[in-house]
Chains A and B, each alone.
Chain A
């Protein structure tokens, strides 16, 4: 079966006074219907720009999608007219943002904003739209939905606002929900509730989720497959179990190695050991190495890494791929 969303060699450039930089450089991945796919990486690695590119939301100028294909439900989103694209946005693909505090329009009630998105895509009566809004608020577990639709956003807590955002995004039964760091601005308990809710909605509505996050814990808990990004490129793609069980790319290994294990990371006398870290810094956009972009920080690097512009390539096992010259050696070394 063809995947719901198939992103191939997506490239998004930003044109600045210092020159053109690829914030997303030939990134490929696919999302199957009903699954959660995670894009993970640190700040500035291009994961949000990737998400924005899918809905063609990259601000132009300075940004522009310069290459690749985004096949969604059999159509290349990059070839759609603006009018067709508007039907996809909010209709087939919903999106929720990092900041539920500012993502709701302060001058309208919650109910108005949900019915707004309904009436944008469907010709339905005001009364029906309101009934559907109440249904949606029930669906995202906002208590007392019948009353809440008349409330203004400032009367809701952060978690409730994110739920309202989710309700808006789900208004027209999208096939794909893009969640751009949906819990970053929320406290830990609320985070878990929202992610749990998204997971349940995914199952009950059969939609796919593209989850953008920098939190590997979230990935492990809620995603089925994952693409690790580094400096604008995909460096490792795998099923979640495989990635956490046996990371291949040195960057992924570094990330997982840097996760704290409070119970195990102690020396013989019970004192905590220092956390592992990946040495060095992400190279600046205008000073990217010619070869592998992780090479300067990589403990596995060999001289050839400096020269070879290595891209995501399938490994012998088939279901996973990594962008590393030494992937085969690393696989062999694994215990």
Chain B
């Protein structure tokens, strides 16, 4: 408890991190509020097409070329973006931590095999790989999450492996062995908790990049056609960008805000959790 307080004090000293946290919380609030503020299907054509924002008080965010409420789409889109960003991040952290800890703890041929495989995945351009995965399987939220996790885990794996390589030589690990702990317990209860700091920081940044990848896929029309997503709104608005640039601009601002917020939080966590920077 006292630790949590000290952590919060360090984190909140950083103005940018607080701003980031505020943005992220605001987007979460938007996603949570979406079904209450816009209970109807956001894909429904409810208004006159090409309503500019603030033109009609009933649709303060305006409408798109098909007369769909932009506000409803952006609010529901926040839900999708956060969902995909969070689950893809959790999935890639799980894969990355497993691969990295096994490679770092056991070393030798286990390390060789896992790391060569990791490098193979890393040599494939991530966006191309996600497009291929989504194109092969049907485009649903599930396959998009899988595709993003497949390209994102290698960086976590390398991070965790590096932490394990130094931590497994530490004497408290020896002390654990001397206490009779099994490999599994040593990895999970002794080494892993000590290597979580960089993983938490990487995860917040990874969530931002997951949201970007998803937006990119949707922009190209490879997103899940059954849900609204910020990227898809931009993609749809592209055709009318000269007459109605606001259709692309509004979800664009939402993406920028989400990515910026998460990046600021990540930086803030880094400063607050990294003991070498604490006295800055």
Task: Report the minimal beta-carbon distance from A312 to chain B, rounded to whole angstroms.
Answer: 28
Interface residues of A in 51-93 (CB under 8 A from B): 55, 57, 85-91
- Say how far A158's CB is from chain B's closest CB, in angstroms: 13
Contact with A along B153-181 (1 / 0, CB 8 A): 00000000000000000111011111111
Q: Mark B239-279, 1 if CB is under 8 A from A, else 0.
A: 00000000000000000000000000000000000000000
Once A105-B190, A105-B194, A106-B194 are accepted as A-B contacts, the answer to whether A90 and B180 lie under 8 Å apart by CB is: yes
A104 touches B189 (CB 8 A): no
Which B residues lie within 8 Å of A86 (CB)? 180-182
**B57 contacts across to A, CB distance below 8 A:** none
Contacts of A90 in B (CB 8 A): 178-181
- A120 contacts which of B170, B172, B181 (Cβ < 8 Å)? B181
* Contact call A105/B180, Cβ cutoff below 8 A: no
Q: Which residues of A lie under 8 Å from residue B177 when comparing CB positions?
A: 57, 89
Cα A316 to Cα B178 in complex, Å, equals 40
**Across the two chains, which residue of chain B brings its CB closest to A101?**
B171
Which residues of B lie under 8 Å from residue A165 when comparing CB positions?
A: 175
Known: A57-B174, A97-B171, A103-B174. A89 touches B193 (CB 8 A): no
Q: Please give me the residue from chain B that is nearest to A150 by CB atom.
A: B2
Interface of B is mostly: helix
Q: Which of A85, A89, A94, A102 contacts B171 (CB 8 A)?
A: A102
User: Does A117 sit within 8 A of B, measured CB to CB?
Assistant: yes
Is the CB–CB distance between B180 and A87 below 8 Å? yes
Binary interface profile of A, 133-176, with partner B (CB < 8 Å = 1, else 0)? 00000000000000000001000000000000100110000000
Residues of the B chain whose Cβ atoms lie less than 8 Å from the Cβ of A97: 171, 174-175
Q: Which residues does chain A contribute within 8 Å of B3, judged by CB atoms? A: 152
Instruction: Determine the chain B residues whose CB is within 8 A of the CB of A108 once the complex forms.
Output: 193
Q: Does B185 contact A (CB under 8 A)?
A: yes
- Enumerate chain A residues within 8 angstroms of B174, measured Cβ to Cβ: 57, 97, 103
A99 — which chain B residues lie within 8 A by C-beta?
171
Contact A88 B171 (CB under 8 A): no
Number of interface residues of B (CB under 8 A): 18
> Does any Cβ of B come within 8 Å of A116's Cβ?
yes
Q: Chain B nearest CB: distance from A324 CB in Å?
A: 35
Is A4 among interface residues, defined by CB-CB distance under 8 A?
Answer: no
Partner of B189, one of A116, A152, A169: A116
Q: Is A107 part of the binding interface, using a Cβ–Cβ cutoff of 8 Å?
A: yes
- A95 interfacial by beta-carbon distance below 8 Å: yes
Distance (whole angstroms) from the CB of A154 to the closest CB of chain B: 10
Asked if A91 and B180 make an inter-chain contact with CB atoms under 8 angstroms apart, the answer reads yes
Point out the residues of chain B lying under 8 angstroms from A55, CB to CB: 178
Q: Does A121 contact B (CB under 8 A)?
A: yes
Residue of B with least CB distance to A94: B178
A199 to B180, CA, bound (A): 25
CB-CB under 8 A from A88, the residues of chain B are 180
Given that A97-B171, A103-B171, A107-B193 are known contacts, is A57 also in contact with B178, CB under 8 Å in the complex? yes
What is the CA–CA distance of A106 and B194 in the complex, to the nearest angstrom?
8
Per the 8 Å Cβ criterion, residues 108-146 of B in contact with A are none
Query: Binary interface profile of B, 1-36, with partner A (CB < 8 Å = 1, else 0)?
Result: 001000000000000000000000000000000000
Q: How far is the CB of B184 from chain A (nearest CB, A)?
A: 11
How far apart sit A88 and B181, CA to CA, in the bound complex (Å)? 11
Minimum distance in angstroms from B274 CB to a CB of chain A: 14
Measured between beta carbons, the chain A residues less than 8 angstroms from B180 are: 85-91, 117, 120-121
**CB within 8 Å of A: which of B174-212?**
174-182, 185, 189-190, 193-194
Could you tell me if A89 and B185 are in contact, using CB atoms closer than 8 angstroms? no
A105 contacts B172, C-beta separation under 8 Å: yes
**Which chain B positions have C-beta within 8 A of A105?**
172, 175-176, 190, 193-194
Partner of A102, one of B170, B178, B181, B182: B170
When the two chains form their complex, are residues B179 and A89 in contact, meaning their CB atoms are under 8 A apart? yes
Q: Which residues in B have their C-beta under 8 angstroms from that of A89? A: 177-180
Q: How far, in angstroms, from A89 to B172 measured CA to CA in the complex?
A: 15
- Nearest chain A CB to B180's CB is how many angstroms away? 4
Using known A-B contacts A105-B194, A116-B189, determine if residue A168 contacts B171 with beta carbons closer than 8 Å. Answer: no
User: Which 9 residue pairs are nearest across A and B when measured between Cβ atoms?
Assistant: A90-B179, A90-B180, A89-B180, A86-B180, A95-B178, A103-B171, A105-B172, A117-B179, A102-B171
Can you pick out 28 interface pairs between chain A and chain B where the beta carbons lie within 8 Å of each other?
A57-B174, A57-B177, A86-B182, A89-B177, A89-B178, A89-B179, A89-B180, A90-B178, A90-B179, A91-B180, A94-B178, A95-B178, A97-B171, A97-B174, A97-B175, A99-B171, A102-B170, A102-B171, A104-B172, A105-B175, A105-B190, A105-B193, A105-B194, A108-B193, A116-B189, A120-B180, A120-B181, A121-B180
Using a CB–CB distance below 8 Å, which chain B residues touch chain A? 3, 170-172, 174-182, 185, 189-190, 193-194
